[in-house]
Structure 1
């Protein structure tokens, strides 16, 4: 199974009508992406779409992904290194800062994101 398929499985996405949907308990079914988006994008693009992150963030992290370590949190072991498809966090290697995808969602002003990028690049 390739990384894209593992990502689809992790988020329990459903495929119908040439598109992928989230249909979780206690929420309405909603479109995540169409097949054309799935085919054209890499795991990072899909992961950021699932997490509702904008194109500027995709562009920055795609260009700088080698500066980050994908992580998820395990209640017994703390943060553990994982493949990108399984990540919930990205650790900036130089600074040690851990960025949560939910935190990245809260950055809605472009200048605020640029300031974050500049801070990371200054480390």
Structure 2
């Protein structure tokens, strides 16, 4: 059986998944990361695509971001080194854009300064012990 993604990865047609991923990697090579030797913060986002049916019967696509933040601590000084990671996520369906590129660029510009609510946006916490 052939891998259904083979065709996607081999094509370079503008608008294909591979072309979009390659273009975005060139335009936005990294997400903001802060690390001071013990505490770290990584911010990222993804874009949702929604289709609304217009009164004319046509469908229109809208794009909106979901902001994410991973905040954690790496404690290598203790006898049992632990990595703690807290995950925050905020769905911003009030920031609606008409094109994927516009949503991508505006969200990337806002990402570093976006304020997460410590209570409302918190989703879960993970603990990893290093051995």
Interval containing the TM-score (normalised by the shorter chain): 0.3 to 0.5
Structure with greater proportional helix content: 1
Structure richer in strand, relative to its length:
2
Q: RCO (CA 8 Å, sep 6+): is it higher in 1 or 2? A: 2
**Structure with max Cα Rg:** 2
